[in-house]
Amino acid sequence: MAAMRNRPIPGSSGRVRAMSLLGDPVLHGACEPVTDFGPSLAQLVEDMYATMYAANGVGLAANQVGVALRVFVYDCPDDEDVRHLGHLVNPTLVEADGVTVRGPEGCLSLPGIEAGTPRFDHAVVEGVTVGGEPVRVGGTGFFARCLQHECDHLDGAVYTDRLTGLRRARALRAARRAPWGRPG
């Protein structure tokens, strides 16, 4: 336990950044791979944690704070309430399989709007840390949903892109009516 106390809390040295909202072009284009693993990347990750925690989120992609780089952070439970905390740089979704589950999904870039969104109940993502160390993260249930959601962001998609029919129409109508709403 003492070792845990000596580690800095993710986001504690970060600043809360403005959130990109649905309709912002940075959310709708594929993000670029990270090539500079210097101090600015470490600060971006810290800022992303601070922003995610301030917004009460469980995951956040860099383009959600206006930076079109392939980076995301997460602090998300799985269906057994096991906490998963970390970040991925240049992530690739290498497995998404199992049962397709339609569950409520929201997004910090569409505050206050949720819709039943289909996702696989198992996902594995590979990437590297801010220090360039390889990492492989797998999850099930809600955490698998989070991993798939954040990878979608980095590919220029938001969860409403996975919706069809009435669910999609309702979510986009709600977004247009929201105080922050923009055409999507």
Q: Among all residues, which ones are annotated catalytic?
A: 150
Cα distances from 91 to residues 41, 54, 104, 126, 175, in angstroms, run: 15, 24, 24, 5, 28
For residue 178, the number of C-alpha atoms closer than 13 Å in the C-beta half-sphere is 20
Q: What would the two tokens of residue 133 be?
A: 């160390």
Buried b (16+ CB within 10 A) or exposed e, 123-153: bbbbbbbbeeeeeebebbbbbbbbbbbbbbb
